[in-house]
């Protein structure tokens, strides 16, 4: 991050090359204007612009039982609730790595299960990855080598605004964007799913785009059919695909002839069953193609640092998310500790959401502690609410990119006097230590 004019007054500070931590794609070319506490996005996708924009207002104070208080008092109240809990569930987990570490410290101290808000897609993908593995690629590999990109499902720019600019940048007017190994050639992009938005078409203007329209609930079937065709099997027994079967058949030879094909899908927008089927089919297609050429999967995901939460849980406990820890043990039970299920047995909910105003799930069985974005609108006033800053807006932090190979440093844009999740969690840990 750089400021293009350090000598100017804070009233018109323009910050360029801002790194974005919201969707997991890791764009690092955003631009904002900062004036006091106010942030006005200048260059960002629609989602990042919405989440970066801030008014020039003081942050709300922490609250206990709806009454404003200090961070220390709110942390002490949270500590009292946690000490009285026997089955706590931690949800959301939208935080930078430091915040996640401290939240996991609380879970270790008090005993709790934990899950991330966006883990549905992750676990659908893990069904294949955990069972048979797959060959996955990275943003850099797609940019530099991919000559045929197959996208299953709805337009991915609806969730990842600049995905095509990152994966297949146009070299026009930007020498840095020129791919290393497919320079001078138009890449082929095949969309098997929903129609592309105008913005997506503009981003792909330099490529050869083929759209095979498939309703979302038949994307999994289409993915299976394509893999079957690649493996030399017939799909005549799939009448639902009559309309698109010829287009799928026509894709087989280009895939076999491609130097480096990549299969992309966003499990988070498909049903759990369909997402798992698409992951299986995409990985299966790569298995078939890899005998004679290069191919890989590139699953889209990573919102609110879920990749970092997944990694941090693995480092720390040896298990992924949807694990319960405490008393020196860890137990991974993905069905039992998915947030919706865990809350049926929980007696306390601790919710973390620093990247966006994401409210906790409805919960009436015990106290709710929220370490959350200051704009969060609650359906039930939490027993303890500590407004926290956003990594990359209010404080430094690290988040993982969706391909897991890069940990991105985020820098603050303003001083809003909001504690980070790490600071709020540390205050709670401190209150627990004092009471021990
Ligand atoms: S596409 Fe994702 S990483 Fe890029 S600016 Fe938008 S929200 Fe941020």
Identify the band that residue 179 occupies on the pLDDT scale cut at 50, 70 and 90.
confident
Residue from 46, 160, 390, 403 whose mutation best tests the ligand 1 pocket (most atoms within 8 A of CB): 160
Residue from 31, 43, 47 whose mutation best tests the ligand 1 pocket (most atoms within 8 A of CB): 47
Average pLDDT over residues 195-216: 94
Residue 45: CB within 6 Å of ligand 1? yes
pLDDT of residue 233: 87
| C-alpha span between 360 and 374 (Å, rounded) | 13
Average pLDDT over residues 163-184: 73
Residue 162 near residue 27, CB atoms below 8 Å: yes
| C-alpha span between 224 and 237 (Å, rounded) | 12
pLDDT digits (tens, 9 = 90+) for 293-342: 999 999 999 999 999 999 999 999 999 999 999 988 999 999 999 999 99
**In angstroms, what is the span from residue 66 Cα to ligand 1's centroid?**
34
Q: Residue 47 CA: which ligand 1 atom is closest? A: 7
Give the bridge partners for 40, in sequence order. Answer: 33
| C-alpha span between 127 and 135 (Å, rounded) | 15
| C-alpha span between 64 and 385 (Å, rounded) | 6
* Closest by Cα among 423, 291, 335, 387 to 115: 335
Given a cut of 50, whether residue 6 has pLDDT beyond it is no
Give the gyration radius of the chain's Cα atoms.
23
Q: Residue 44 CA: which ligand 1 atom is closest? A: 5
CATH topology of domain 121-301: Dimethylsulfoxide Reductase; domain 2 (3.40.228)
Given a cut of 70, whether residue 33 has pLDDT beyond it is yes
- Percent of the chain whose pLDDT exceeds 70: 94
pLDDT of residue 7: 41
Reading the block at residue 49, the tokens are 């612009």
Residue 338 near residue 272, CB atoms below 8 Å: no
Residue 14 near residue 40, CB atoms below 8 Å: no
Q: Residue 20 CA: which ligand 1 atom is closest? A: 8
Q: For 211, what's the count of Cα atoms within 13 Å in the CB-facing half-sphere?
A: 12
Residue 245 is inside which H or E element, if any? Answer: helix 245-257
Token pair 């999994």 is found at: 220
| C-alpha span between 106 and 17 (Å, rounded) | 35
pLDDT of residue 436: 79
pLDDT digits (tens, 9 = 90+) for 369-427: 999 999 999 999 999 999 999 999 999 999 999 999 999 999 999 998 999 999 999 99
Q: Residue 160 CA: which ligand 1 atom is closest? A: 1
| C-alpha span between 89 and 75 (Å, rounded) | 18
Query: Residue 397 CB: number of other CB atoms within 10 A?
Result: 29
Pairing of strands 407-410, 112-114: unpaired
**In angstroms, what is the span from residue 20 Cα to ligand 1's centroid?**
6
Give pTM, 2 decimals: 0.93
**In angstroms, what is the span from residue 408 Cα to ligand 1's centroid?**
13
**In angstroms, what is the span from residue 45 Cα to ligand 1's centroid?**
6
| C-alpha span between 171 and 90 (Å, rounded) | 45
Could you tell me the residue ranges of all domains in the chain?
Answer: 63-118+304-390+416-435, 121-301
Identify the band that residue 23 occupies on the pLDDT scale cut at 50, 70 and 90.
very high
- Mean pLDDT is lowest, of 46-60, 170-184, 239-253, 382-396, for 170-184
pLDDT digits (tens, 9 = 90+) for 346-371: 999 999 999 999 999 999 999 999 99
Reading the block at residue 146, the tokens are 């991919």
pLDDT of residue 8: 45
Supply the residue whose CA is at minimum distance from atom 2 of ligand 1: 23
Q: Which residues of 228-238 are buried (b: 16+ CB within 10 A; e: fewer)?
A: bbbeeeebeeb
pLDDT of residue 235: 73
* Closest by Cα among 263, 87, 111 to 190: 263
Say if 63-118+304-390+416-435 and 121-301 have the same CATH topology: no
Average pLDDT, the chain: 93
* Closest by Cα among 188, 276, 283 to 227: 283
| C-alpha span between 11 and 234 (Å, rounded) | 65
* Closest by Cα among 315, 396, 433 to 96: 396
> Helices 97-110 and 71-83 sit at what angle, rounded to 10 degrees?
40
For 63-118+304-390+416-435, CATH number? 3.40.50
Token pair 């860890």 is found at: 330
pLDDT of residue 194: 92
- Percent of the chain whose pLDDT exceeds 90: 87
Pairing of strands 67-68, 88-94: unpaired
* Closest by Cα among 249, 244, 229, 238 to 193: 244
**In angstroms, what is the span from residue 17 Cα to ligand 1's centroid?**
13
pLDDT of residue 5: 43
| C-alpha span between 110 and 127 (Å, rounded) | 30
Residue 188: CB within 6 Å of ligand 1? no
Average pLDDT over residues 137-154: 96
């Amino acid at each position: 991050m750089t400021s293009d004019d350090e000598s100017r007054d804070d009233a018109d500070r323009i910050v360029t090359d801002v790194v974005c931590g919201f969707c997991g794609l890791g764009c690092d070319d955003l631009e904002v204007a900062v004036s006091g506490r106010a942030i006005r996005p200048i260059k960002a996708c629609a989602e990042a612009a919405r989440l970066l924009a801030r008014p020039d207002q003081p942050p709300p104070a922490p609250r206990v039982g709806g009454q404003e208080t200090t961070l220390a008092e709110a942390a002490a109240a949270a500590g009292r609730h946690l000490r009285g809990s026997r089955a706590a569930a931690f949800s959301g987990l939208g935080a930078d790595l430091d915040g996640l570490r401290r939240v996991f410290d609380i879970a270790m101290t008090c005993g709790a299960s934990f899950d991330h808000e966006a883990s549905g897609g992750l676990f659908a993908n893990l069904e294949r990855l955990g069972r048979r593995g797959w060959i996955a690629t990275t943003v850099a590999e797609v940019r530099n080598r991919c000559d045929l990109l197959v996208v299953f499902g709805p337009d991915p720019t609806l969730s990842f605004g600049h995905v095509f600019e990152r994966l297949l940048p146009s070299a026009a007017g930007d020498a840095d964007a020129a791919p290393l190994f497919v320079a001078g050639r138009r890449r082929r992009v095949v969309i098997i799913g929903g129609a592309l938005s105008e913005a997506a078409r503009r981003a792909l203007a330099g490529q050869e785009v083929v759209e095979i329209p498939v309703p979302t609930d038949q994307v999994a079937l289409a993915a299976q059919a394509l893999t079957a065709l690649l493996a030399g099997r017939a799909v005549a027994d799939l009448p639902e695909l009559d309309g698109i079967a010829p287009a799928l058949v026509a894709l087989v030879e280009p895939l076999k002839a491609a130097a480096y094909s990549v299969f992309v899908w966003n499990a988070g927008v498909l049903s759990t069953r369909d997402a798992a089927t698409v992951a299986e089919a995409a990985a299966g297609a790569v298995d078939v193609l890899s005998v004679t050429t290069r191919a890989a999967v590139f699953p889209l995901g990573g919102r609110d640092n879920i990749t970092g939460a997944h990694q941090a849980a693995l480092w720390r406990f040896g298990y992924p998310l949807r694990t319960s820890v405490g008393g020196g043990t860890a137990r991974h039970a993905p069905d039992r500790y998915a947030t919706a299920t865990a809350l049926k047995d929980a007696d306390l909910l601790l919710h973390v959401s620093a990247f966006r105003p994401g409210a906790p799930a409805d919960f009436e069985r015990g106290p709710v502690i929220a370490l959350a974005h200051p704009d969060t609108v609650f359906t039930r006033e939490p027993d303890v609410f500590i407004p926290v800053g956003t990594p990359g807006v209010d404080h430094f932090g690290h988040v993982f990119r969706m391909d897991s190979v890069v940990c991105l440093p985020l820098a603050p844009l303003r001083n809003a006097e909001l504690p980070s999740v790490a600071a709020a969690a540390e205050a709670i840990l401190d209150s627990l230590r004092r009471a021990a």
